[in-house]
Structure 1
Amino acid sequence: MTISYGKAVREELRRPTSELRHAIPEVYQGYKELHDAALRTGALDGKTKELIALAIAVSKECDGCIAAHAHAAVLQGATPQEAAETLGVTFLMNGGPSTVYGARAFAAFNEFHADHTQNPDAG
């Protein structure tokens, strides 16, 4: 049995997220603007920012965030080794829980990376 920490998590959250988005569209629009502004390339490139977000998602133990930022990091060109080293820093800063959520994040990253490698034009 293969456990998906990437696509399955995103799929599980799709419907409830859509329902909440329809209930509070202005809040979601504000969050989208914050998201886009925070992740826009500046002194740090998008890949670096997505790897930082992935590390924070692990520290916050948020499977949905892990899936979202693992996927985005792949799309920004992050490699499995860059993801692994980023997750290693979470061990230092967050201890034991990061060994669990870091493994989930690495599995999600590798899932998206494999898909992207096989079909680079897919989102």
Structure 2
Amino acid sequence: MSYGKTVREELRKPSRELRQAIPSVYEGYRRLHEAALADGALDAKTKELIALAIAVSKECDGCIAAHAHGAVLRGAQPAEAAEAIGVTFLMNGGPATVYGARAYAAFEEFYAGHGPASD
């Protein structure tokens, strides 16, 4: 099963429909997203890895897919994703072992597809 591209594809239509129903809310969220993940004292890659770990803790497949992809786009390596996910085991216990595996699979899926001709 795909925990990356398939999840993103499944959410595409309902997300677009909701975005059309509440465009100003989505615009505000987009601005918050950009500001929160921008380079600052922490670089964007580190912030995406933090977001990926939080997505595991929140058990959110859509968030996992989005932040696994974001981490890959910002240059994260599999070992970095694995260690970030490993911290969720400490903080979240057993459920993190399930959603962590999903997150790592999503990361690997995007990582494998990320190259000069990808995305």
Give the shorter-chain TM-score range. over 0.9
Listed one character per residue, the Cα deviations across residues 100-123 of structure 1 (whole Å, up to 9, x for unaligned) are: 00000000000000000xx33533
Distance 2:75 2:26 in 1: 27
Asked if residue 122 in structure 1 is aligned to residue 110 in structure 2, the reply is no
Measure how far apart 1:53 and its partner are. 0.1
Distance 1:49 1:106 in 2: 17
Q: Which residue of 2 aligns with 1:50?
A: 48
Aligned length: 119
Measure how far apart 1:74 and its partner are. 0.2
Measure how far apart 1:94 and its partner are. 0.5
Identity of aligned residues (%): 76
The residue type equivalent to 2:60 in the other structure is: C
Measure how far apart 1:97 and its partner are. 0.3
Listed one character per residue, the Cα deviations across residues 81-106 of structure 1 (whole Å, up to 9, x for unaligned) are: 00000000000000000000000000
TM-score (norm 1): 0.95
The equivalences for 1:7-86 within 5 A come to 7-86=5-84
5+ residue gaps, structure 2, are none
RMSD between superposed Cα atoms in Å: 0.7
Say which SS state the counterpart of residue 11 (structure 1) adopts: helix
The equivalences for 1:107-118 within 5 A come to 107-116=105-114
Measure how far apart 1:68 and its partner are. 0.1
Runs of 4+ aligned residues of structure 1 deviating over 2 Å after TM superposition are 119-123
Q: Which residue of 2 aligns with 1:98?
A: 96
Distance 2:117 2:47 in 1: 22
Say which SS state the counterpart of residue 34 (structure 1) adopts: helix
